[in-house]
Structures are given as C-alpha cells and as structure tokens.
Structure 1
Amino acid sequence: MEILSSYNVIIAASVIIVLSFWFNGISKKTNIPSVLMLIVLGVILQYVLKYFVPTMPDLDGTLEVLGIVGLIMIVLEAALELELKREKLVPILKSMAIALLGLVASAWIAALILYQFIPNMTMQSAWLYATPLSILSSAIIIPSVSGLKESKKEFHIYESTFSDIMGIMMFYFLTSRLHPTEGSGVAGFAGTTLLTIAIALIASYAIILVFQKIKSQAKQFLLIAVLLLLYAIGKKMHLSSLIIILIFGLVIANVKLFFPGKMKVFLEHDKISQIYHELHIITLETAFVVRTFFFVIFGITIAITSLFSLSVALVSILIILSIYAIRFVLLRTFFGKDILPQLFIAPRGLITVLLFYAIPQEAEIETFESGILLFVIIATSLIMTWAMIKDKKKMGSMLDELEEEYEAREEAYEGEPTLEEE
C-alpha cells in the first residue's frame, strides 16, 4: 500500500487539481465538458491503481460526501448569480415550467422503459431509478453555457437549477412512498415544502443580520459550515434541504428585494456587499475542487466494461431518445423555432450519480446494470459537446460574414469621391 502513502496522496490530489484547471481551459476553447475529461482521468487512475494495489479501496462513502457538498456548492453558486427582477419573472417561470414538465415526463417514459426491459423491475423501483436519469446536471451546464448569449445562458442556469431542486424533491418523495405513513402523501409533502421555505427564510434573515456584525475577516467558511449544518439537520428532519440553500443564496444576492422599505435600516450595505462577493468567490472555488474530485473518484469506481453490453446500449439509447423528444416538444411549445443549441443541452451528471447511490436498499434491483447510468451521462455530455461546437462555428461564420460585409462597405466608401474631389 506504499503507493497510497500520505505524500503520494497529496501529490496525486495536487496534480488532479492542476489538470482540472487545465481541462477547464481546454473546455472553454473546444466546448468539450471538463467533466468528461475528469471521468476519463478517473478511469485511467482506476487501471493504474489496479496495477499497483491488489485490493481497491472502497470509495463509495467518499463519493457520497463529495456529491452532497458539491451539490450544495453548485446550487449556492447558481443562486448567487440569479437576479430577481420584475422583467425576469417570465423567463424564470418559463424555465421552471420546462424543468418541471421535462423532469416528470422524462422520468415517466424512462420508468416505462426500465419496467419493460429490466428483469424483476417493479414500477415503484422503476420510478426511483428513472428520476436520477431525468435530472439535468447544473454541474455540467452552468460552466458550459458561458459563451451563449445572455438570454439563453440565463435560461439554462434557471432550468438546470430548478431541475436539480425539483428532481431531488421528487426522488425523496418517491422514497417516502416506500414506507407510507400519515402525512407522507402529496398534502404532507406540500406541507413539508412550505415548512422548509418558512425555515429557509427565517434562517436566511438571521444569518445575514448576525454575520454582518461579525468583525473577523475569516468568516466565510463559518458561513458555509452553518449552511452545511442547516442542510444536514434538514435532511434528518426529512425536509427539502436544498430549498434552504437556494433561498439563502437568493436572499443575499437580492437584499434590496428582501429588505424593502424601512427594513433597510437593519442592513449594513458595505458589509453585506463584502460578504456576498467573498462568498461568491469561495463558493466558486469550492465547487470547482469538489466537482473535480467527485468526477475523478466516480471514474475510478465505475465498471467501464458494462458499457459494452447490448442490453445496456438498447435501454440507454431508448432513454436518451425519449429525453430529446420530450425536450423538443417542450422547447417548441415555449420558444417556437429558436431552440438551438438548447435542445441538445441536457446532460446528466453529479446529481444523477448521487441519487443513484441514495436508492434505498429495499428498492434496489440486482438486474439493473450501472452501465446504463454511465452510458446516459457520457452520451448526453457528448451530444451537448457536439451542439456547443456546432453553435460556436455558426457564431464564428456569422461574425466572419459581418466582418466581410463591413470591410466591403469600407472599401466602397473609400472608393467614393470626396466633396473636394467633386
């Protein structure tokens, strides 16, 4: 086990972070998601470790913890960038509707496919397996859409964030139905959600009012620790904890909206602005590091041979086709003909993996092959990559045409006689 010594682990972790930063640079130039490169790196490390280490360490627990922290950081990062303005109400509601309808419709069709093709699959378990496969990955989408025009970029940020939150709420609602109790139905779920929103608002106001009074400079990780604590306690109480993170992010990013009128006297605007900017930077950096190690460890743990199964390919392709068919109908309904490249930006990623590992033992189906998960993640990411590259080339050719037209006009203008020459 000498290869897993403390210094070797530190060296490996440092090299992985450096490579991840490099992958981000490649991603911006090529539109290939850095997540794919991280998974490939993980697969390579898997075979390196197998060569040097006779028994692979169990990394499932580490993967789960990284996934939870990464999920919190990604949602917080997205919430901190969302401006709640009256003119943005329609885009937000439209994105929410598309995310919800896409989630439910995709999960329903995927559940039918799994129920039909996976032996011993019950419909209840099929819904639990289908839900993670139906959630958009904000971890992949948000860093990948920075080059799109503002309206499309905002749509993808809103849609992927709502898909994350509603997908997780739907998953845990389905898990609660495995052991039906009083208050676990739709009414009970709605009540729990409203209670979570109320707790989130109270906690957000309290955190802002307290933290603006703290004079210490080193308080950002204290703030993150408080949010992680609230999330974990919320999960223990069976609340929709991700709503707490989302609402806190929205409140601190839109303090003027949440502290209207005379409530402004409770705010120290300079300190709130400082907290917001520092939190935004730390959240961004933390999300980057956690996302890096999550996908590398995922690559280390996956069974790559499962991709070459005919049954895995058949089920995965049917699910992928259903994802884009449903997405096409929804985008055409809400946006008309301007649906590119949005149609193909529907990757699955971190939350898909995280929820897959969270499926209760009593709902697990031994005949379900995890290769389906990997196939869908890789295929949807590659399709998004192709769409983004194509869109980038299209934008480049349009700019070239505009530049040529401008140069032609310049030449024509230079060839015209001046007033003095006339």
Structure 2
Amino acid sequence: MLIILGVLVNLGLNAFSETKIDFFPILEILGIVGLIMIVLEAALELKLDKDKVIPITIALAIALIGLLLSTWVTALILQYFLPDISSLQAWIYATPLSILSSAIIIPSVTHLRTDKKEFHIYESTFSDILGIMVFYFLLSKIPAVDSELAADSGGGSLLNFALTTILTVILSLIFSYIIVFVFQKIKSSAKLFLLISVLLLLYSIGKLLHLSPLFIILVFGLVIANMDLFFRGPFKKWLDKNKAKEVYHGLHLVTLETAFVVRTFFFVIFGITIVFSTLADWKVIGISALCLAVIFIIRFVLLRSIIGKDILPQLYVAPRGLITVLLYYAIPDEIKSESFSEGILLFIIIGTSLIMTWAMIHNNKRSGKAIGKAKSLPVSDLKWKAPEIN
C-alpha cells in the first residue's frame, strides 16, 4: 500500500511539475536509519533464556541455509537468462533478493502464536545481518571496486571475515557495557534520542574501522534486553536495575515508533522512484516468477525437514523489502549490469508481500473457525461414581 501511495505521488508530481527531484539520497539515508532501528527493535525483543537455545539455533540454521541456497539458485537463474552477467555479479544481485525483510515481518507477526512469532523475529533478524555480511563480503572480492561499502566486510578472505566478526562482537560488548553504565547515571529525562545518536555514531565508527556495524547495534540490543544474563559476577555492581529498566522500556518505545515512521517514508519514496517501463517486459516477469518459485520451494524443504508438519503460515512469511532495496542501490556503478532490470526487484518485493498477506489473512480465518467450533461445543456437568469392588 505504501509503495502504491508512492507511485500515485509520483504521478501527481509528474502531472503538476516538470522539475525532477532526485529522491535517491533521501532513500539511502532513510534506509540506513531504518535498518539500524529495525535491527535494534528486533534485538530488544530477543530474550536469551536457556529454553530459547534450541529455537534460536533452529532459526539461525534456517536463516543461513535459506539465504545461501536462495542466493545460489537465484544467481544461476540470473546467469542463464542474462548472459552478459558474470558469476560474481549474479551472486551480488541475488543476495538482496534472498534476504528476509524484518521491517515487514516483525510488525506483521504480532498476533501469531508466541513460538511462531519468536521464530520469525529470530529468523528475520539473522537473515538481515547475515545477508548484509555476505553482500559486503562479495563486494570485497572485486578488486576494481574502491567503495567504503566493500570495506564493511573487513577484507577479501574468509579468515579476515571471521576475525573481523569476532573483533566486532568483542568491541560491541565493551561499547554496550559502557553505554548502559553511563546512561543509567544520566538524570535528565531527555536521554533516549541522545542514546540513539550515540548508536548512530557507533554505526559510523564501525564502518570507518571496517567492522560489521550492525553487529554493534545487535549486541547492544541483546545486552540491554538481557541484563540479568550479561551483568553477572563483577559486572553486577555496575548495574542499577531500576534505572536500566527505565532506559530499556523507553528505548523500546522510541525505537518502535521511529522504525515505523522511517520505514513508512522509505517505502513511499521507493514507490516514487519506480520506473514503469521496467515492468512491461515478459522476460522480467518470467525471471521474477522463477525466483519466487525458488524462494518458496527452498523454504518448504527447509521448514518441512527441520520443523516438521506445522509450517503454516511460516512457509509463506518470506517478504523482501527495505534491506533488499537498500543493498540493491548499494551496488557500485562499476559492476552494475545493464541487462538486470529493476522490475525484477519490484515484482519479487510485491509478490512475496502479497503472498504473506494472503497467508496471514488465511491463518486468521482458520484460527477464527477453530475458536468458533470450540465455542459451539456444549459444556455440561457429569456425575461420576467410583466403581464398586466386589
């Protein structure tokens, strides 16, 4: 609906003004801020209890395997139908198309059963972060690209990639402890947006140091959402629980509202930037349909193999959105392929979103019928007499 609103706004701008406005810088800024807010929002929802180890591991496995398999098969499809595209280019284009959108999933699954809702929060968060890391790693494999985005992967080798990730986690924990300690001491009531400003600063520092900046945001969210787990032993004396909980609840509310506003404007502006001529191409429609089929076939096999039979509506909750668009526009001009159409991007985003919408509506109807049937069953008392023993 937001994308369609953007399309209508674009038609109005074209009808009443001949001046062309470049919305791409705005789109990039909104995308980055939205990404930070969405990852933080998701991290604040993750509770690292002992009984959550298995669900988190399952979600991580499904997110990682699904991302890699979808990227691989989608890259093969792009190479087959777009002959001028190289193998590495195909992987770079396929990665954004294979990442789940936590921006769409998290607010959409609030009414699902608790275990299913948590699965989607874990899976979409892991998919976002792992997908971004894979994307930047692939960019770093292209020597000709002198881009700060490519540097985010921390180097071209898997060893450098792993070492950078470990270093990022360690620094993230240190930053998180310092932030919690400092902000619980601040007496001013106007400190939540200051905290968000500090997180934006840490994100920028992470990029400059060629670390994985989203890991810093994720780890901070996990620390403040699981204070009892992280503040143990000698760290326990650092924590003022009441003050820290005030920061947590306030940050949770501000993050929720900010993420909502940012992603709203993001998708409207994305709709404004759509070029209609990219949609009227049967080749684009065919490639998009194949990619959609791959997404759900791989998802079905994974969920059926790992979770079992109870895979509805999880099977159809696989939308692409904010991160897909953001990473697509982050592809450097030097390696862009003229044969890849933005229409593929749009069809997959809208297609996966419509399929998820249908699945959620169907799930609500099915739940409603089950509740209605349960309520229609008669309830009565029955006298019971203990059997006599002869």
**TM-score normalised by structure 1 residue count:** 0.87
Q: How far off is 1:53 after superposition?
A: 1.3
Q: How far off is 1:156 after superposition?
A: 0.2
Amino acid at match of 1:374: L
Query: Which residue of structure 2 lines up, in the alignment, with residue 58 of structure 1?
Result: 22
Listed one character per residue, the Cα deviations across residues 204-237 of structure 1 (whole Å, up to 9, x for unaligned) are 0111111111111111111101100111121122
Change (3 A) 1:78 1:183: closer
Could you tell me how far apart the structure 2 residues matched to 1:337 and 1:376 are? 26
Match of 2:67 among 85, 96, 103: 103
User: Would you say 1:339 and 2:303 are equivalent positions?
Assistant: no
Could you tell me how far apart the structure 1 residues matched to 2:155 and 2:325 are? 29
Could you tell me how far apart the structure 2 residues matched to 1:393 and 1:86 are? 34
User: Would you say 1:120 and 2:84 are equivalent positions?
Assistant: yes
Query: Which residue of structure 1 lines up, in the alignment, with residue 365 of structure 2?
Result: 393
User: Which stretch has the larger CA shift, 292-301 or 116-125?
Assistant: 116-125
Query: Which residue of structure 1 lines up, in the alignment, with residue 326 of structure 2?
Result: 354
Listed one character per residue, the Cα deviations across residues 172-210 of structure 1 (whole Å, up to 9, x for unaligned) are 000011129995200011111111111111100111111
Could you tell me how far apart the structure 2 residues matched to 1:330 and 1:210 are? 44
Query: Which residue of structure 2 lines up, in the alignment, with residue 315 of structure 1?
Result: 287
User: Would you say 1:156 and 2:126 are equivalent positions?
Assistant: no
Match of 2:244 among 272, 292, 316: 272
User: Would you say 1:373 and 2:345 are equivalent positions?
Assistant: yes
User: Would you say 1:143 and 2:107 are equivalent positions?
Assistant: yes
After the TM superposition, list the runs of 4 or more consecutive aligned residues in structure 1 that deviate by more than 4 angstroms: 180-183
Match of 1:258 among 224, 227, 230: 230
User: Would you say 1:409 and 2:373 are equivalent positions?
Assistant: no
User: Which stretch has the larger CA shift, 272-281 or 260-269?
Assistant: 260-269
Query: Which residue of structure 2 lines up, in the alignment, with residue 237 of structure 1?
Result: 209
Q: How far off is 1:147 after superposition?
A: 1.2
Could you tell me how far apart the structure 1 residues matched to 2:129 and 2:191 are? 27
User: Would you say 1:132 and 2:96 are equivalent positions?
Assistant: yes
Could you tell me how far apart the structure 1 residues matched to 2:100 and 2:85 are? 24
User: Would you say 1:92 and 2:56 are equivalent positions?
Assistant: yes
Query: Which residue of structure 1 lines up, in the alignment, with residue 134 of structure 2?
Result: 170
Amino acid at match of 1:173: F
Q: What's the C-alpha RMSD, in Å, of the aligned pairs?
A: 1.7
Query: Which residue of structure 2 lines up, in the alignment, with residue 45 of structure 1?
Result: 9
Amino acid at match of 1:122: S
Amino acid at match of 1:208: V
Change (3 A) 1:183 1:170: closer
Could you tell me how far apart the structure 1 residues matched to 2:23 and 2:13 are? 13
Q: How far off is 1:333 after superposition?
A: 0.9
Contact 2:137 2:155 in 1 (8 A): no
User: Would you say 1:290 and 2:254 are equivalent positions?
Assistant: no
User: Would you say 1:200 and 2:184 are equivalent positions?
Assistant: no
Listed one character per residue, the Cα deviations across residues 87-122 of structure 1 (whole Å, up to 9, x for unaligned) are 000000110000000000000000000111124111
Counting aligned pairs with the same residue, the percent is 60
Q: How far off is 1:320 after superposition?
A: 0.6
Could you tell me how far apart the structure 2 residues matched to 1:147 and 1:254 are? 23
Matched length: 377
Which secondary structure does the structure 1 equivalent of 2:61 belong to? Answer: helix
Which secondary structure does the structure 1 equivalent of 2:18 belong to? Answer: coil
Query: Which residue of structure 2 lines up, in the alignment, with residue 75 of structure 1?
Result: 39
Query: Which residue of structure 2 lines up, in the alignment, with residue 328 of structure 1?
Result: 300
Amino acid at match of 1:88: K
Could you tell me how far apart the structure 2 residues matched to 1:97 and 1:229 are? 31
Could you tell me how far apart the structure 1 residues matched to 2:175 and 2:230 are? 13
Query: Which residue of structure 1 lines up, in the alignment, with residue 387 of structure 2?
Result: none
Could you tell me how far apart the structure 1 residues matched to 2:379 and 2:114 are? 29
User: Which stretch has the larger CA shift, 255-264 or 78-87?
Assistant: 255-264
Listed one character per residue, the Cα deviations across residues 237-275 of structure 1 (whole Å, up to 9, x for unaligned) are 221110000000000011110011342111111110110
Which secondary structure does the structure 1 equivalent of 2:379 belong to? Answer: helix
Which secondary structure does the structure 2 equivalent of 1:367 belong to? Answer: coil
Listed one character per residue, the Cα deviations across residues 374-407 of structure 1 (whole Å, up to 9, x for unaligned) are 00000000001111111111101101100101xx
Could you tell me how far apart the structure 2 residues matched to 1:176 and 1:342 are? 34
Could you tell me how far apart the structure 1 residues matched to 2:127 and 2:309 are? 23
Q: Give 5+ residue unaligned stretches, structure 1.
A: 1-36, 418-422
Could you tell me how far apart the structure 1 residues matched to 2:333 and 2:14 are? 28
Could you tell me how far apart the structure 1 residues matched to 2:155 and 2:35 are? 27
Which structure's residues are more often helix, by fraction?
A: 1
Amino acid at match of 2:284: V
**TM-score normalised by structure 2 residue count:** 0.94
